[in-house]
Amino acid sequence: MFSFAPTIVLFPLLGFLFLGLFGARLRNEKLIGILGSGTVGLSFLVAVALFIHMLGLEPDQRKGIVELFSWIGTFTGTASSVNVSVAYQVDQLSILMTLVVTGVGFLIHVYSIGYMHGDPGFWRFFTYLNLFIFAMLNLVLADNFLLMFLGWEGVGLCSYLLIGFWYDRKFDVGGYAPGKAWTNDAAKKAFIVNRIGDFGFLLAMFLIVVQFESLSFDAVFGRASVMTPGSDVMIWITLLLFLGATGKSAQIPLFVWLPDAMAGPTPVSALIHAATMVTAGVYMVARCSILFALAPATLQVVAVIGALTAIMAATIGLVQNDIKKVLAYSTVSQLGYMFLAMGVAAFTAGIFHVVTHAFFKALLFLGSGAVIHGMHDEQDIQKMGGLKKYLPVTYKTFLIGAIAIAGIPPFAGFFSKDEILWKAFSSDQGSVLLWAIAAAGAGMTAFYMFRLVILTFEGKERFDHHHAHPHEAPKTMTVPLIVLAFLSVVGGFIGVPESLMGGNALEHWLEPIFAPAMTALRATPHHGGITEYLLMALSVGIAVAGIYGAHTVYMKRQELADAWRSKYRRIYQVLWNKYYVDEAYDALFVRSTVKASETVLWKGLDVSVIDRLVNASAQGVAWLSSKVRLIQSGFAQRYATIFVGGIVLVLFWLMFK
Amino acid sequence: MGIQLYLYLSAILFMIGVVGVIARRNAIIVFMSIELMLNSVNLTLVAFSAFLGDVTGQMLVFFVMTVAAAEAAIGLAIIISLFRNKQTVNLDEINILKW
Amino acid sequence: MLTEYILTITIFLPLLGGLALLLVDKGSVNTIKMVGFGATALTFVVSLYLYFAFDPMAAGFQFQHKVVWIENLAISYSVGIDGMSLLLILLTTFLTPLALLGTWNSITHRIKEYMVMMLLLEVGMIGVFAALDLFLFYVFWEAMLIPMYFIIGIWGGQERVYAAIKFFLFTLFGSLLMLVAILALAYSASTIPGGQFTTDLYVLYGVGPRLALNVQSWMFLAFALSFAIKVPLFPLHTWLPDAHVQAPTAGSVILAGVLLKMGTYGLIRFCLPLFPDAAFVFTPAMTSLAVIGIIYGALVAMVQTDMKKLVAYSSVSHLGFVVLGTFAMTEEGIQGAIIQMVNHGLSTGALFLIVGMVYDRAHTRAIADFGGVAKIMPVFATFFMIVTLSSIGLPGLNGFVGEFMILVGSFKSAFLGSSAYSIIATSGVILAAVYMLWMYQRVMLGPVRPDRLYGGHALTDLTRREIATLVPLVVFIVWIGVYPGTFLKTSAGMAKQVVQTMESARQGGQARFVELKNR
């Protein structure tokens, strides 16, 4: 049964190739849409079949590796040299990720049929989407670091292609650059910032090769599990891997590409920058849990950065006016929570949040897409309001998504977020401070999400009725919304903790994956008792307070918003300008490098110094010749004189030798 | 009486020829000087041949005379061509092969 | 019988084509082009036989053919190939017909001479990779300078004469020093008891390592200088931007695709095994220059305004990787270097063809003159993107395979001693993405600029001929990226041997120095 696993990866690849080569000729949108979605749907079905098969197996049997062919290596037969294959590993963690990727991916493909209707690049969109799914599946199903890296960079490539999909359009970057930037600037930024993270990933791989003499997960993790924790090399490996994760999953310091990535079509934001690609970093940390467990210092770093990112992004999200930007910063913030979970060794909680976040964040993005579609490409929430009358399905599903992300039980977000908060407090690696930061962030999350809901859907209509005619989205778009809303409601039940009488199915399912890490950490399970219930109630209370606060400020007493804005003008400016991080990076790194390269390296060194040396040597030879040629006077008698002189000299020499 | 006198004569003629080649301006005079040099060598060869009783020297004289004749013919042809182009045979004014 | 002569046939087949061209009338342009293309294509087919008949498991050189040339100096016409030279010969015979096909209509005057020059160039190139006698190697090495000089100087751009002379003299300077070293090495073969003056490589492989360190050092430097100029290694690279920009497209393709590989080929074939002790001494210097070249080439490429110059500097950057892999002297490093030579030939060759296709239409190469080309030429945009991605080392395409192996190999290399080289070189992948994607954006994306009428020329999408030129390149770009085993297996034996030679030289060398100290 496991041998069917490669077909999961194969279907989207075939879709990409077929649509890439023939898509331009197929004039029929429906056909392209069905083909594009169908391949992902097929992958989903195979994944489901595999999952059901695995349910019937014993926990330690639930793993299969299918090797396809030898990929990169020296092929010299030396055992210690690098030799990596294309091989796929199906286990509890990868099948879970696969189901999320293909399931949510399928829904978004269907949604795109409606959203991208009429676009001249319709076939190109589905081609790139299929390529993305192919790359993402390679990432989560790989059985070694190098194949995972192929998926890792592959999703980066698709992100680049899809963000810059409308390649002749400008987009508004908010407070960043005066004037407007092009979509491809955002795409390029995403790719390059990701590459900085990939630099870390590559170095980590080299260290792994030196340390473990292999790149396959089984070999590396097997050899790692007998190492003693805290060694320098492990800290370096995990720090570098985490650098890669901060790039891919938009954490401090490499998060700056994600908000700009909103320049792409909304389904792209939903699929890549919410549900799947950005969670690749979290998945990678989870997959390498044993390595991180052997480097407690790195775990601390991960947790701190996760927490800081969570709260920083939340503060920025409080004041943004573009509907997608709010959701983008929300994503950065939620990813921070996932890394916080990883950092406190709550690996299952982190993966849990990946799953639930995929549901409700995709829902929110698709909903915002429906709003944008209905408002004819308007994205500024200050120009919306009262839309619940015109887009009822969108409103209801969006509201469900907002409630889920705020963390209100029994919706999905509550269970996952609450577990993270509890583990941040109670785990060996956690602390009250981390919990406090996370809880504050949760409050802000509820606040800004409901600010978004209210400003968009409730209250007075602030849009110009002459220009905007808001209407509900077609079925291809609303049906996925409804499905995702349903999942946002019930999705949390896979991980109901024991303290609430649930079986915590997810924890048991993933236990064999994280067992080596937990053993290395000598983690003791904490039974919270009263403290756990107290914190649970507290987190719900904070969420409710956030919602109530948003309701008050934006519904009842709107003058408060303006009052705060003028009273705390300085703080507002800093938040609205995203702490000026983009500007700082631009000045420190981008502009200085370009200027230095141009003046110092090119004009200064290459042209002035090296080339001048070369030309000078040529000129030197020319100068020498100009002196030597003076011997050629043209007078034959002069030459004769020299002959005679020479003969005389020779004669003298012969005579007086 | 010994060969010395003949050799002295040849040497003096040769030197006169060399000075003529180096110091005279007119190309025809230079050619005459070259002929003088060649003939001085002829004199040396004949002198030695008579003195040593070996006829090889006189044979070589014939070679030298032939070469001198040929060279004079071609050389004068070149001078005439030069004169046609440059309207002069003054060597101080002819430096076409200058750098 | 065939195995003995096949290599010689491969080398000189283009020459036969050239001779055939002498019979063709100057005016029948199409016939000239067909004969020239046919000769190069035929050479490719013949070289394929070499590939299929090659035995990857056998040690040493295959298809050897030796004819005594200058007897009392023991100089012979000796040719033979192993895995690395086979791959490079295939690259040569593959790229030359494609270069001609891609620029079918670019050259309009003196086509016959042009075709003859290209054929002579091919003879020289294949000969360099096949020569097993140092004197013969030198002859072929010089032999491919002259046609290239003419190609740049006659059919090139505005500043072609300067560029051609610079290229010629720069390379010649290094080659002459190499000649001195060759002669000195051949002479030292005669100082060994029982030996004689010879330039045969087999014999010299035994002579070189036994020389004293200071003798080895200057010989190594002489060889390395010549090869370093060819690679090109920083700071001897300044001939490259001028030569590339001024050369006609096919000339650039061959120059970047094959000629630059001769430098790196020479380093692996001659510098390392002939002078191992000197190689160890100079490894830090060479590696530092290579790494500097990677970063420097990338940074300077970033600020170029001419597309061809940008690609030229990117070559400096990419070949820095190859030199890094060479001096890592690990299996991954050498294998990575070899495959990266092939990769660079394919990717950069394709890039120059692409730039040439745009230049044929718009008659300008300045990036500022372009914008929004993707909308007018979508097929072209796709090919350009694929080749760009290959150039920046996207996993799944060929560039990644070589880069990764080189970086891993140099990271874990005992010879290099420090992993700092590898770390700095890895940051080069970030810079590569920067300059390539920025160029792609400025040329292909954004809106079509109506004020840019491209000098009145219409930009049309690729013709079938141009697609037929690019498709084989893309096929190999993907093939090597997904299943490089086909090619890595060919050179695996040779790489292993090189590493073993250097390893035993390192150990033997230390013992030898101990012995010298104790004397």
Whether residues C238 and A614 touch (CB distance < 8 A) is answered with yes
Local confidence band at C354 (pLDDT 50, 70, 90 cut-offs): very high
Residue bearing the bigger pLDDT, B98 or A143 = A143
Tens-place pLDDT, residues C366-388: 888 888 888 888 899 999 999 99
Instruction: State residue A65 phi and psi, 5-degree precision.
Output: -120, 130
Residue C455 has pLDDT above 90, yes or no: no
Q: How far apart are CA A359 and CA A412, in angstroms?
A: 9
- What are the residues facing C395 on neighbouring strands? C397
In our burial notation (b when 16+ CB lie closer than 10 A, e otherwise), range A249-275 reads bbbbebbbbbbbbbbbbbbbbbbbbbb
Element (H, E) at C370: none
Q: What is the pLDDT of residue C450?
A: 59
- Chain C CB within 8 Å of residue A70 CB: yes
Model confidence at C452, in pLDDT bands (50, 70, 90)? low
User: What is the mean pLDDT of the segment spanning C163-179?
Assistant: 92
Whether residue B53 is contained in a domain is answered as yes
| Whole-number pLDDT of residue C517 | 41
DSSP state, C396?
T
A628 touches chain B (CB under 8 A): no
Return the closest-CA partner of residue A400 out of A477, A476, A491.
A491
Retrieve residue B19's tokens.
């000075």
Do the beta carbons of residue A362 and residue A107 sit within 8 Å?
yes
Chain-chain contact of B99 with A635 (C-beta, under 8 angstroms): no
Half-sphere exposure of C399 (CA within 13 A, CB side): 25
* Cβ contact A262:A328 at 8 Å: yes
Strand (E) or helix (H) holding A23: none
Token pair listed for A355? 């799953």
Of B19, B86, B97, which to mutate for an interface test with A (greatest number of A Cβ within 10 Å)? B97
User: C166 with C243: CB under 8 angstroms?
Assistant: yes
Domain assignment present for B94: no
B96–A636 C-beta distance less than 8 A: no
Ranking A47-51, A405-409, A412-416, A604-608 by mean pLDDT, the lowest is A604-608
- Read off the pLDDT band of C324 (50, 70, 90): very high
C399 to chain A: closest CA residue:
A72
Interface of A with C in 17-56 (CB under 8 A): 24
- The string of DSSP codes covering A340-364 is HHHHTT-HHHHHHHHHHHHHHHHHH
pLDDT in tens, chain B (99 residues): 688 999 999 999 999 999 999 999 999 999 999 999 999 999 999 999 999 999 999 999 999 999 999 999 999 999 999 999 989 888 888 888 887
User: Quick one: pLDDT band at residue C440, thresholds 50, 70, 90?
Assistant: very high
* pLDDT for position C420: 87
Are A241 and A285 in contact by the 8 Å Cβ rule? The answer is: yes
Is B97 in the A-facing interface, judged by CB distances under 8 Å? Answer: yes
Over range C348-355, report the average pLDDT.
Answer: 95
Confidence (pLDDT) at A585: 84
pLDDT digits (tens, 9 = 90+) for A456-494: 888 788 777 777 677 888 888 888 989 998 888 888 888
B31-37 contacts, C-beta under 8 A, 24 or more apart: B31/B72, B31/B75, B31/B76, B31/B79, B34/B71, B34/B75, B35/B68, B35/B72, B37/B13
The pLDDT of residue A609 is 81
Looking at the predicted structure, is the pLDDT value of residue C509 above 70?
Answer: no
CA B62, B65, B67, B70 dihedral sign is negative
Determine, for residues A70 and C485 on separate chains, whether the beta-carbon distance falls below 8 Å: yes
CATH number of the CATH domain containing B74: 1.10.287.3510
pLDDT of residue C370: 84
Residue A129 pLDDT level (bands cut at 50, 70, 90): very high
Q: Output the CA–CA distances (angstroms, integers) from residue C421 to A214, A334, A594, C417, in the order listed.
A: 22, 38, 23, 9
ipTM score assigned to the predicted complex: 0.90
The more confidently predicted of residues A46 and A176 is: A46
**Overall average pLDDT of the A167-188 stretch:** 71
Shortest distance between the Cα of C80 and any Cα of chain A, in A, equals 22
CB of A632 within 8 Å of a chain B CB? The answer is yes
- DSSP code for A657: -
Residue A634, sorted as left (phi over 0), alpha (psi -120 to 50) or beta, turns out to be left
Chain A meets chain B (3+ C-beta pairs below 8 A)? yes
Residue with tokens 């992300």: A405
- The answer to whether residue B31 sits within a structural domain is yes
Preceding omega of A480 cis (within 30 degrees of 0): no
Asked if C261 contacts C198 with a C-beta cutoff of 8 angstroms, the reply is no
Structural domain includes residue B97: no
Q: What is the percent of chain C where pLDDT is above 90?
A: 59
pLDDT digits (tens, 9 = 90+) for C175-185: 999 999 999 99
pLDDT in tens, C119-156: 999 999 999 999 999 999 999 999 989 999 999 999 98
Which residues of A fall within a CB distance of 8 Å from B91? 635-637
Q: State whether residue A619 sits within 8 Å of chain C by CB.
A: no
The DSSP bridge partners found for residue A181 are: A171
Give the minimum alpha-carbon distance from A564 to chain C in angstroms, rounded to a whole number. 40
Q: Check residues A275 and A644 and name the one with the higher pLDDT.
A: A644
Q: What is the pLDDT of residue C519?
A: 36
C396, C426, C485 ranked by CB distance to A154: nearest: C396
Task: Determine, yes or no, domain membership for B59.
Answer: yes
Q: Select from C239, C437, C489 the residue whose CB has the most chain A CBs within 10 Å, as the one to mutate to test that interface.
A: C437
DSSP per-residue codes, C119-156? HHHHHHHHHHHHB-BHHHHHHHHHHTHHHHHHHHHHHS
Residue A86 neighbours by CB under 8 Å, 6+ apart? A67, A68, A69, A70, A71, A147
Burial status of residue A146 (CB atoms within 10 A of its CB: 0-12, 13-18, 19 or more): buried
B17 occurs within a structural domain: no
Whether residue C405 and residue A74 make contact (CB cut-off 8 A), yes or no, is yes
Give dist(CA C426, CA C329) in Å, integer: 18
**Could you tell me if A357 and A416 are in contact, meaning their C-beta atoms sit under 8 angstroms apart?**
yes
Across A434-454, average pLDDT? 90
Dump pLDDT digits (tens) for A360-406.
Answer: 999 999 999 998 888 877 788 887 888 888 888 889 999 999 999 99
Chain C residues 206-235 with CB within 8 Å of chain A? 235
- Give the pair of three-digit tokens for residue A186: 């955002």
B16 CB within 8 Å of a chain A CB: no
Comparing CB atoms, the residue among B91, B97, B98 nearest residue A637 is: B91
3-state helix vs strand vs coil in chain A, percent to 5: 75, 5, 20
CA distance A64 to chain C (A): 23
Q: Indicate whether B14 belongs to any domain.
A: no
Query: Which residue type occupies C432?
Result: A
Q: State both tokens at A476.
A: 């291809």
Residue B84 in contact with partner chain A when CB distance is under 8 A: no
Inform me whether the pLDDT recorded for C490 exceeds 80.
Answer: yes
Mark out the alpha helices in A427-529 (DSSP H runs). 432-457, 475-490, 505-521
Would strands A170-171 and A181-182 be described as parallel, antiparallel, or unpaired?
antiparallel
Chain A: nearest CA to C492, how far in angstroms?
A: 5
* Least confident residue range of A244-248, A281-285, A386-390, C155-159: A386-390
* Chains in contact with B via at least 3 Cβ–Cβ pairs below 8 Å: A
Contact B91 A644 (CB under 8 A): no
Residue B74 within any structural domain of the chain: yes
- SS3 of residue A320 by DSSP: coil
pLDDT of residue C515: 43
- Identify the band that residue C364 occupies on the pLDDT scale cut at 50, 70 and 90: confident
CB contact under 8 A, A202 and C330: no
CA distance A26 to A411: 42
Residues A302-347 pLDDT 10s: 999 999 999 999 998 888 888 898 999 999 999 999 999 999 988 9
User: What sign does the dihedral A369-A375-A376-A379 (CA atoms) show?
Assistant: negative
- Specify the DSSP class assigned to residue A502: -
- Residue B21: list chain A partners with CB under 8 A: 637, 640
Report d(CA A565, CA C478) in Å as an integer.
55
Q: Are C206 and C264 in contact (CB under 8 A)?
A: no
Report the C-alpha gap between A464 and A457 in whole angstroms. Answer: 15
**pLDDT computed for residue C117 by the predictor:** 94
pLDDT computed for residue C349 by the predictor = 95
Measured between beta carbons, which residues in chain A are less than 8 angstroms from residue C299? 593, 596-597, 601
* For residue C223, pLDDT beyond 60: yes
pLDDT band at C399 (very low <50, low <70, confident <90, very high): very high
Question: Global pTM?
Answer: 0.89
Asked if C394 lies within 8 A of A149 by C-beta distance, the reply is no
Give the lowest-confidence range in A464-473, C35-44, C231-240. A464-473
Greatest alpha-carbon pair distance for chain A in Å reads 126
- The answer, yes or no, to whether residue C516 has pLDDT greater than 50, is no
Considering only CB atoms, A634 lies closest to which of B18, B22, B98, namely B98
Residue C518's pLDDT band, with cuts at 50, 70 and 90, is very low
Within 444-473 of C, beta carbons closer than 8 Å to A belong to 444-448
Indicate if the pLDDT at residue A170 is higher than 90: no
**How far does Cα C181 stand from its chain's mean position?**
23
- The pLDDT score that the predictor gives to residue B1 is 64
List CB contacts (< 8 A) between A185 and chain C. 441
Domain that holds residue B29: 25-86
Confidence check: pLDDT of C190 > 70:
yes
* C370 touching chain A per CB within 8 A: no
Q: What is the pLDDT of residue C233?
A: 92
**Which of A:582-611 have CB within 8 Å of C?**
593-594, 596-598, 601-602, 606, 610-611
User: What part of A 145-164 touches C (C-beta under 8 Å)?
Assistant: 146, 149-150, 153-154, 157, 160, 164
pLDDT, residue A180, reads 67
d(CA C66, CA C72): 16
What are φ and ψ of residue C75, in 5° steps?
-100, 130
A298 against C456, higher pLDDT: A298
Task: Report how far residue B70's alpha carbon sits from residue C275's, in angstroms, rounded to the nearest whole number.
Answer: 61
The helix (run of H) or strand (run of E) holding residue A652 is: helix A636-655
The alpha carbon of residue A368 and the mean position of all alpha carbons in its chain are separated, in whole angstroms, by 20
Strands (E) across C57-204 are located at: 62-70, 75-81
Helix (H, G, I), strand (E, B) or coil at A252: coil
Please name the member of A192, A205, A602 whose beta carbon is closest to the beta carbon of C430: A192
> What's the number of domains chain B is made of?
1
Q: Which residues pair with C65 in a beta bridge?
A: C79
A181 in helix, strand or coil? Answer: strand
Residue with tokens 């977000």: A413
**CB atoms < 10 A from the CB of C360, how many?**
15
* Lowest mean per-residue pLDDT among A395-409, A577-591, C3-17: A577-591
Q: What is the mean pLDDT of chain A?
A: 87
Q: Do chains C and B touch (3 or more CB pairs under 8 A)?
A: no
